[in-house]
Structure 1
Amino acid sequence: MTGSAFFIYHDKAIYYHFHDSHPFHPIRLKLTLDLLSEMGALEPSSMLRSRQATESELLQIHQKAYIEAVKALSSGSPEIDWLKRATQYGLEDGDTPFFPGMHEAASYVVGGSITAVEAVMSGHCQHALHLAGGLHHALSAKAAGFCVYNDASVAIAYLRQHYKARVLYIDTDVHHGDGVQWSFYSDPEVCTYSIHETGKYLFPGTGFVQERGEHQGYGACVNIPMQPYTEDESWLECFEQSIRRLTDYFKPDLILSQHGCDAHALDPLSHMQCSMAIYNEMPAIIHSLAHKYCSGRWVALGGGGYDIWRVVPRAWSLLWLEMTDHPLKRSLKQHPRTQLPQAWRERWQDQSSVSLPTEWLDDLTHWEGIPRRAEITAKNRESLAVALQDFPEPD
């Protein structure tokens, strides 16, 4: 089976579910799948069933003792000794609590990202999307930020082991992609890039411009920390200038991107003032770079996003529409007030506590401006200049 883009999916990834009141809720995936299906943009022939990651694959990033702890705490009734050690592994706090079936569900998330990179590198497709992935905060021996296993890091390790590929990791989640950064901090063949709200105010408290890699990997780590209440224009200015210059400098074999959509103004877990515009534009920029530098090789993952009704389904659907060159994606430039499918809205409205949006993009005419816009823009440009000081302008 070959095609231009595959949508990677497995039902067991839905069971990556902490509890019903947790902000990281798998209904985000169902909403997105249903939206794409409603508009005829996701055919069965484009869907590729993923597999579970093996323990040897997990061990490329995670310590054996940690994997054993995850397995033990995945039981319906863990032994008391493991319960006492849960905090040691980051699995007994409000963010990332252990849950029954955790190891299997998290392993399927990792397996989905491996399936995606394998599909692209083997030539079965140019692009692959795995929305259940993007768990970028998990560390080698500790869960963090809703992330048990770091599927992005394991997928990159798989690429390095099996294909010796130079990988550019692009993280657009509003929270810094710390787990992936630390996994490859000294590796010159993996460039990690993250644009996010500054860690001065937001979890995980990292991602400053001076974090540039170490040893042979110095310079292969770029962070663009943005000021709180950044709006579309400044976010996109910093993103486009930095990622175009970095990609030209690094010249990757494949781009692996993480598409958390929590920099939106409606997201409850950050302090940004961006609209759906950035989630329409950023995938288009990455898409063009993949074709210019990587022969089209592009794998995209999901990530954060906690306005699960109004933001995530639209943002992730726009990502798939970009990967598949769908006509709707192109028409939004001429028709920004294009309506969402009414049948989709009616099907889900009763389950939502908020009114579902009627249009693909946000109507910004009623948004209030940020009083400190000029100051925020200036500070973001300062960070951008520092982050790019060692990278030449493209020819």
Structure 2
Amino acid sequence: MKSLVLWDEAMLGYDMGEHPLDPVRLELTIALARAFGVLDRPGVTVRGPIPATDAELLTCHRADYLAAVRAAPEDPFFRGYGLNTSDNPVFDNMHEVSALISGATLMATRAVWSGEVDRAVNIAGGLHHAMPARASGFCVYNDPAIAIADLLASGAERVAYVDIDVHHGDGVQQIFWDDPRVLTISLHESPISLFPGTGFAEEVGGPGAQGTAVNIALPAGTNDLGWLQAFHAVVPSVLRAFRPQLLFTQCGADSHRLDPLANLRLTVDGQRAAHLALRDLATELCEGKWVASGGGGYALVEAVPRTWTHLLAAITGEPLDPMTPIPPEWMKLALSRRPGVVVPQRMTDDGFTAYTPWEPGGTTPLDRAIMATRKAVFPLHGLDPHDPRD
């Protein structure tokens, strides 16, 4: 098994200043993965990315938007295209660093699609809110969409995108809304209570592509067991019906119970279980072809580095034992970057992930959310929403 990790410290330049999306989460993730030897495993290549070209960015973004991204850092009074706002402040070399992150995700998908490697990951990627002509939700260029568009241009006929970020993967869904070759599945906190306000079960894709947008809107407060129950009640069945040739996953870590920007209650154990489930589905359905990206995540020390180190371990080989102690040198680094935080001691939150498989007939908000998605989407794939075997 061969895997590719895209990494360059230049990607830390995606830095919006005093802002929740702090690049320290990337620095600490790579440092933790290295401390465990995850990036030094047999068959693992760590490669620096090449920036995406304008032609590659233009597969999903408008030319005037690219010009705006280049111009905005030079003009303190710039307005428009979603830039220079509290969510999306401009920063030095904004175009260059954003293109580098998109280039990394492109390299990941190309390496997997060509057969050079079986799996690939870009933890700096997953900027899933960016729209064709608008920055949104801390995202400038939509690297997952750019990479998926490149796969289609390379001959892929069925690509599945599964988004487990706490926020709806709205940009990717919109870009491929009318394209039946791309299945977008998003599990997220209900848009009633969280940005971006989209991702209801009834959003199923445009004419000619109905059923290729799948949304599981989870009630605020959903924990590991509820999240995993919802995942397994929907995602495997739809993926099996779609028969993807490659699985792309956006693995935002902001569903964690300590995340300051959202209201789900997952532990790193639940997130690790999700990564392993996605790995197994890629093995079953896509001959192992799996590309993963990062995404959101704002518990910068407490959650993100552990969650994404578990992801890197799943990509590169054997999963890490959740009971593994955190190396003292990493704890010291974390405290130097964020003095006063409570640094985790182990790779677990002692979460419990032995969920009960979903059955129809339940009346809880979670049961209703699962059934809403199944009713909206399953018949479009020839599946029975009321049959738990589907």
Fold equivalence (TM over 0.5): yes
Whether contact under 8 Å (2:60, 2:132) holds in the other structure is: yes
Whether contact under 8 Å (2:57, 2:146) holds in the other structure is: yes
Aligned to 2:118, the other structure's residue is in SS state strand
Aligned to 1:215, the other structure's residue is in SS state coil
Q: Which residue of 2 aligns with 1:357?
A: 344
User: What letter corresponds to residue 357 of structure 1 in structure 2?
Assistant: P
Q: Gapped runs of 5+ residues in structure 2?
A: 353-361
CA–CA distance in 1 between the matches of 2:56 and 2:284?
Answer: 31
Pair 1:58-2:52 in alignment: no
Q: Which residue of 1 aligns with 2:2?
A: 4
1:70-121 CA distances to partner (integer Å, 9 max, x unpaired)? Answer: 111133xx2x7xx34x2x2000210001112100000001001000001111
Q: Gapped runs of 5+ residues in structure 1?
A: 366-372
Q: Which residue of 1 aligns with 2:14?
A: 16
CA–CA distance in 2 between the matches of 1:341 and 1:379?
Answer: 43
Report the Cα offset of residue 207 of structure 1: 0.2
CA–CA distance in 1 between the matches of 2:184 and 2:190?
Answer: 16
User: What letter corresponds to residue 377 of structure 1 in structure 2?
Assistant: L
CA–CA distance in 2 between the matches of 1:99 and 1:216?
Answer: 40
Whether contact under 8 Å (1:10, 1:51) holds in the other structure is: no
Pair 1:39-2:36 in alignment: yes
Q: Which residue of 2 aligns with 1:245?
A: 237
Whether contact under 8 Å (2:282, 2:288) holds in the other structure is: yes
User: What letter corresponds to residue 295 of structure 2 in structure 1?
Assistant: G
Query: 5 Å matches for 1:365-384?
Result: 375-384=364-373
CA–CA distance in 1 between the matches of 2:225 and 2:174?
Answer: 30
1:341-361 CA distances to partner (integer Å, 9 max, x unpaired)? Answer: 222112322332311111111
Report the Cα offset of residue 384 of structure 1: 4.1
Report the Cα offset of residue 339 of structure 1: 1.7
Query: 5 Å matches for 1:30-179?
Result: 30-43=27-40, 46-75=45-74, 78=75, 83-84=77-78, 86=79, 88-179=80-171
Aligned to 1:187, the other structure's residue is in SS state coil
Report the Cα offset of residue 388 of structure 1: 4.4
CA–CA distance in 1 between the matches of 2:348 and 2:376?
Answer: 31
Q: Which residue of 1 aligns with 2:271?
A: 279
Query: 5 Å matches for 1:311-350?
Result: 311-326=303-318, 328-329=319-320, 332=321, 336-350=322-336
Q: Which residue of 2 aligns with 1:389?
A: 378
User: What letter corresponds to residue 12 of structure 1 in structure 2?
Assistant: A
1:168-208 CA distances to partner (integer Å, 9 max, x unpaired)? Answer: 00000000000000000000000100000011110000000
Report the Cα offset of residue 387 of structure 1: 4.2
User: What letter corresponds to residue 62 of structure 2 in structure 1?
Assistant: Q
User: What letter corresponds to residue 160 of structure 2 in structure 1?
Assistant: L
1:309 to 294, 301, 312: 301
Whether contact under 8 Å (2:268, 2:351) holds in the other structure is: no
User: What letter corresponds to residue 90 of structure 2 in structure 1?
Assistant: F
Whether contact under 8 Å (1:223, 1:387) holds in the other structure is: no
The alignment yields a C-alpha RMSD, in angstroms, of 1.9
1:17-52 CA distances to partner (integer Å, 9 max, x unpaired)? Answer: 111x21101111110111011111112952022110
CA–CA distance in 1 between the matches of 2:164 and 2:93?
Answer: 29
CA–CA distance in 1 between the matches of 2:2 and 2:372?
Answer: 37
Whether contact under 8 Å (1:224, 1:387) holds in the other structure is: no
CA–CA distance in 1 between the matches of 2:325 and 2:308?
Answer: 16
CA–CA distance in 1 between the matches of 2:162 and 2:351?
Answer: 27
CA–CA distance in 2 between the matches of 1:126 and 1:249?
Answer: 22
Whether contact under 8 Å (1:170, 1:193) holds in the other structure is: yes
Aligned to 1:222, the other structure's residue is in SS state strand
Paired-residue identity, %: 36
Whether contact under 8 Å (1:165, 1:254) holds in the other structure is: no
Whether contact under 8 Å (1:137, 1:177) holds in the other structure is: yes
